Amino acid sequence: MTEQAGPSALVRHAAGAEQAGFDFEVISDHYSPWLSEQGHAPNAWAVLGAVTQVTGRVELMTYVTCPTMRYHPVLVAQQAATVQSLSHNRFTLGVGAGENLNEHVLGRGWPPVNLRHDMLVEAVDIIAALFDGGHVDYVGEHFQTDSAKLWDLPDTRVPIAAAVSGDRSVGRLAPLADHMIAVDPDAGLCRAWDGVARAESRKIGQFPISWDTDRDAAVARAHDQFRWALGGWKVNAELPGPSAFAAATRFVRPDDVAAHIPCGADVDAVVQAAAAYWEAGFTDLALIQVGGTHQDHFLAAARQELLPALRAAAPN
């Protein structure tokens, strides 16, 4: 999570997660942290390049990149193809419609959600065409390309996963993307995706935990750094900066956060939270350990306790 650790620490955490036995690793792509207490926002693509060189087995993925405002889609396609080559075909490009938090910095304003979806569909069309090879000319309502070409295509085409939150985004993106991304364990969302998708898809979720042998410390840390998450994505996509998230969550109590995020060192609580995702139809699940300076003991616990318990409980 780029919002809670600097670039060197993130690279070290990625290597440690592979050693701990995780199967895949995702990276957020932010220009700003959600809250100033998190304190970080390095460039995700530079970090990914370094991560490809300290890992050799885990799959890698952006969770997620907005390819419409800070980045033009031709640049995203070039970055994704480069990471795929550097990682020897371990990369999936995760894309989404973005958040005001990260995209307003260009001074172009923040479009309404329907326009953001239109922009994302055009962007995915351009990226997919570039992954096909050859020169791409495109004239759309939001983007243009002039004889764009990826000169270093990887051996394996980069899969595209799209973030969705409801029927509208599923209907627009499932026919274009290879896999689904969502943050809520919504069985209806999975069924809707499968009904429209062009092929069998992975459904990739994520949820936070605050692992600590001192539960009170875990709750305090989760409240300090992750209370923003209780607003839901319809709110979180619209607020413009850390100060807005601080104001919006000033009445959120530590107990409110603890009711939504497993806190402490309770393996069963983590398994129960994860079970909601696979019961809804998700195939992959990324765990966020809250707190950039609390990764090492979490990775040790993941190797010894969490991963064995999750694998034993999950369906095949």
Q: Which of 53, 122, 95 is nearest to 179 (CA)?
A: 95
| 270 cis-preceded (ω within 30 degrees of 0) | no
Instruction: Return the beta strands (E) in the chain as ranges.
Output: 24-27, 59-62, 91-95, 136-139, 144-148, 160-163, 179-181, 203-211, 263-264, 284-289
- Burial class, 293, CB count within 10 angstroms (exposed 0-12 / middle 13-18 / buried 19+): exposed
- The mean pLDDT value for 261-289 works out to 97
Q: Which two three-digit tokens encode residue 285?
A: 């699940």
pLDDT score, position 188 = 96
pTM of the model: 0.97
The yes-or-no verdict on residue 234 having pLDDT over 90 is no
The DSSP symbol for 65 reads: B
How many beta carbons lie within 10 A of that of residue 108, not counting itself? 10
Nearest Cα residue to 42 out of 53, 31, 26, 27: 31
Exposure b/e, 249-282, CB count within 10 A at least 16 = b: beebebeebbeebbbbbebeebbebbbbbbebbb
pLDDT class of 229 with cuts at 50, 70, 90: very high
What pLDDT sits at residue 60?
Answer: 98
Structure tokens at 242: 């850390």
Strands 136-139 and 144-148: antiparallel
Question: Is 119 buried (19+), middle (13-18) or exposed (0-12) by CB count in 10 A?
Answer: buried
What percent of the chain shows pLDDT beyond 70? 100
Q: What is the CA 309 to chain-centroid distance, rounded?
A: 24
What is the per-residue pLDDT across 9-47, written as a single tens digit (0 to 9) for each?
999 999 999 999 999 999 999 999 999 999 999 999 999
- Whether 133 has a pLDDT exceeding 90, the answer reads yes
Active site residues: 30, 99
What is the full DSSP assignment across 129-166? HHHH-S-EEEE-SS-EEEEE--SS--SSPPPEEEE--S
- How many Å separate Cα 135 from the centre of its chain? 30
Nearest to 55 by CA among 98, 95, 94, 86: 86
How many whole angstroms separate alpha carbon 170 and alpha carbon 190? 9
